């Protein structure tokens, strides 16, 4: 072998050994990091902050909050947010069993989000009734009958209700929405 052939062989062998030695570092740079995907669901108060939520509510007075959803699933997702209304004794979703509340949906949002996309919408509501009986709830200027009774809570001295939001995700295999095991709620004191 000639001297030029040894140089070429030496350079090729050196380059191959360098690539082999650097492969663990290169794999960290070139491969996307995988993790468990998740969805987010939140409520914000009237000033678009996590504070000053309506609590002591009056008959037929309008209140504003914001509801938001974030998609961190790693793919496009079709969501539904179901708004439900209950008294302090009616069932909430069961997080342990991943089951939604059996209560009827009062209002709903439908949205499609790309991965890492966030959606927020204002929600205005007003309650019609008296402390022991909420007859209707107005959400975004639409009136819905709820006919929800409450009993006096002697521990907290009031009549309490809760408006809560369940997150559902469209399951392409089932071709239907499936409860996504996330919910947030807003306690409301109608004692007046």
In the chain, where the domains are located = 1-31, 38-189
Q: Mean pLDDT of all residues in the chain?
A: 90
Q: Is the dihedral of CA 55, 59, 65, 69 positive or negative?
A: positive
Q: Can you read off the two tokens belonging to residue 116?
A: 């890492």
pLDDT for the residue 192: 73
Q: H/E element holding 161?
A: strand 160-171
**Torsions phi, psi for 31 (to 5 deg):** -95, 135
pLDDT for the residue 36: 83
Q: Is the pLDDT of residue 135 over 60?
A: yes
Calculate ∠ Cα 53-111-140, nearest 5°: 45
Q: Is the pLDDT of residue 49 over 80?
A: yes
Q: Is the pLDDT of residue 26 over 80?
A: no
pLDDT for the residue 174: 93
Residues 143-159, mean pLDDT to the nearest whole number: 94
pLDDT for the residue 131: 93
pLDDT for the residue 30: 44
Residues 24-37, mean pLDDT to the nearest whole number: 58
Helices assigned H by DSSP within the chain = 3-30
Q: Is the pLDDT of residue 59 over 80?
A: yes
pLDDT for the residue 24: 62
Give 66-89 pLDDT, tens digit per residue.
Answer: 999 999 999 999 999 999 999 999
How many residues in total does the chain contain?
192
Looking at domain 38-189, its CATH superfamily turns out to be Immunoglobulins (2.60.40.10)
């Amino acid at each position: 072998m000639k001297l030029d052939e040894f140089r070429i062989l030496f350079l090729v062998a050196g380059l191959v050994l360098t690539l082999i030695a650097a492969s663990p570092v290169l794999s960290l740079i070139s491969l996307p990091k995988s993790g468990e995907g998740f969805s987010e669901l939140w409520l914000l108060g009237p000033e678009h902050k996590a504070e000053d939520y309506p609590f002591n509510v009056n008959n037929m007075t309008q209140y504003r909050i914001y509801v938001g959803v974030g998609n961190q699933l790693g793919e496009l997702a079709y969501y539904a947010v179901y708004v439900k209304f209950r008294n302090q004794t009616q069932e909430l979703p069961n997080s342990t069993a991943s089951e939604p509340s059996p209560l009827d949906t009062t209002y709903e949002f439908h949205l499609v989000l790309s991965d890492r996309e966030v959606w927020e919408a204002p929600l205005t509501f007003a309650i019609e009734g008296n402390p022991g009986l909420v007859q209707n709830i107005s959400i975004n200027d639409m009136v819905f009958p709820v006919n929800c009774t409450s009993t006096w809570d002697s521990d907290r001295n009031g009549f309490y209700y809760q408006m809560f939001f369940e997150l559902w995700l469209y399951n392409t295999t089932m071709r239907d929405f499936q409860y996504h095991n996330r919910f947030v709620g807003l306690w409301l004191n109608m004692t007046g």
